[in-house]
Amino acid sequence: IGIKHVADHLSLSGTFVTTETGKLEEAGLVAKSKGKVDKRRVSLRTTPAGDALLGRLNALQRQVNDIHFGSLSRAEFQ
């Protein structure tokens, strides 16, 4: 996935996403690679360490979502 895609999806600036993904890269959670066609483009992917952390986050996020949205019916949630 590209920086612009992440920035657009989260309504953030490309500069902010670039800075934050740089920190994630230094922490070994994200890997960056240059585009094959356009070397100015950067693609991001999670590393195995990042995948493991996301897997642990998933269980916590489910608990948080259950608290926030537990009172809604399926139709109300949708």
Which residues, listed in sequence order, are joined to residue 34 by a DSSP beta bridge?
42
Predicted local distance difference test score (pLDDT) of residue 31:
96
Q: How many angstroms separate the Cα of 11 from the Cα of each of 6, 17, 70? A: 8, 10, 27
Predicted local distance difference test score (pLDDT) of residue 7:
95
* pLDDT tens per residue, range 22-77: 999 999 999 999 877 877 888 999 999 999 999 899 888 988 988 988 898 888 88
The Cα 54–Cα 59 span in angstroms is 9
